[in-house]
Structure 1
Amino acid sequence: MVNENSGDVDGAVQSEKIDKDSRIAVLFFPVLILLGGLCGMLLPQAFVGLAGWINPLLMIIMFCMGLTLTLPDFALVVKNPLPVLGGVVAQFVVMPSAGWLVATVLHLDPALAAGLILVGCAPGGTASNVVSYLARGNVALSVAMTSVSTLIAPALTPLLALWLAGQYMPVDAGSMALSVVQIVLIPVVLGIAIRMVLNRLVTKVTGVLPWISVLAITVVVTIIVAGSSQAIMNAGLLVLVAVILHNGLGLLLGYGAGVLMRVPADARRTMAIEVGMQNSGLAGGLAKQYFTPEAALPAAVFSVWHNLSGAMIAAYWRRKKTVNTGNLADK
Structure 2
Amino acid sequence: MSSTTGQFFIQLPRFNRVFLQNNSFHLPKPVQFPVLPQTSNIPAPVTSISQFGASRFSVCRCASETESLSGSSERDPGQEFGPEPNQMVEQKEASIVDILKQSNSILPHVVLASTILALVYPPSFSWFTSRYYAPALGFLMFAVGVNSSEKDFIEAFKRPDVILAGYVGQFVVKPLLGYIFGIIAVTVFGLPTPLGAGIMLVSCVSGAQLSNYATFLTDPPLAPLSIVMTSLSTATAVFVTPMLSLLLIGKRLPVDVMGMVSSILQIVIAPITAGLLLNRLFPRLCNVMRPFLPPLSVLDTAFCVGAPLAININSVLSPFGLTLLLLIVAFHLSAFIAGYFFSGSVFHNAPDVKALQRTLSFETGMQSSLLALALANRFFQDPLVSVPPAISTVIMSLMGFALVMIWAKKAD
Partner of 2:107 in structure 1? 25
Larger mean CA deviation between 191-200 and 243-252 belongs to: 191-200
Partner of 1:66 in structure 2? 141
SS at 2:207 equivalent? coil
Aligned with 1:190 (options 247, 270, 273): 270
Query: How far does the alpha carbon of each residue in 1:34-75 deviate from its partner, in whole angstroms, 9 at most, with x for none?
Result: 3214434xx79x95xx69x32x12212332133122534423
Letter in 2 for 1:25: L
Q: Which runs of 4+ in 1 moved over 6 A?
A: 12-15
TM-superposed CA distance for 1:314, in Å, is: 4.3
User: Are the equivalent residues in 1 in contact too, given 2:157–2:225 (CA < 8 A)?
Assistant: no
Change (3 A) 1:265 1:110: same
User: Are the equivalent residues in 2 in contact too, given 1:62–1:187 (CA < 8 A)?
Assistant: yes
Query: How far does the alpha carbon of each residue in 1:59-113 deviate from its partner, in whole angstroms, 9 at most, with x for none?
Result: 1233213312253442332333322331232222211221112101221534323
Aligned counterparts, 1:199-210, within 5 A: 199=279, 200=282, 204=289, 206-207=293-294, 208-210=296-298
Letter in 2 for 1:192: I
Distance, in Å, in 2 between the alignment partners of 1:182 and 1:198 is: 23
User: Are the equivalent residues in 1 in contact too, given 2:178–2:331 (CA < 8 A)?
Assistant: yes
Distance, in Å, in 1 between the alignment partners of 2:118 and 2:365 is: 22
SS at 1:233 equivalent? coil
Aligned counterparts, 1:40-55, within 5 A: 40=122, 47=126, 53-54=129-130
2:300 corresponds to 1:212: yes
TM-superposed CA distance for 1:236, in Å, is: 1.0
Partner of 2:378 in structure 1? 289
Identity over the aligned pairs, expressed in percent? Answer: 22
User: Are the equivalent residues in 2 in contact too, given 1:221–1:300 (CA < 8 A)?
Assistant: yes
Show structure 1 runs of 5+ residues with no match. 1-11, 326-331
TM-score, normalised to structure 1's length? 0.74
Aligned counterparts, 1:291-330, within 5 A: 291=380, 293-317=383-407
Aligned with 1:98 (options 177, 199, 208): 177
Change (3 A) 1:235 1:156: farther
Distance, in Å, in 2 between the alignment partners of 1:295 and 1:194 is: 38
Greater CA radius of gyration, 1 or 2? 2
Distance, in Å, in 1 between the alignment partners of 2:101 and 2:168 is: 29
Aligned with 1:271 (options 355, 360, 373): 360
Show structure 2 runs of 5+ residues with no match. 1-93
Query: How far does the alpha carbon of each residue in 1:216-257 deviate from its partner, in whole angstroms, 9 at most, with x for none?
Result: 44223311334x25xx32221232122122112211210121
Larger mean CA deviation between 245-254 and 190-199 belongs to: 190-199
Change (3 A) 1:141 1:22: same
Change (3 A) 1:260 1:214: same
Question: Number of matched residues?
Answer: 297
Instruction: Pick 1 or 2: higher relative contact order, CA cutoff 8 A, min separation 6.
Output: 1
Distance, in Å, in 1 between the alignment partners of 2:252 and 2:97 is: 44
TM-superposed CA distance for 1:312, in Å, is: 4.2
TM-score, normalised to structure 2's length? 0.61
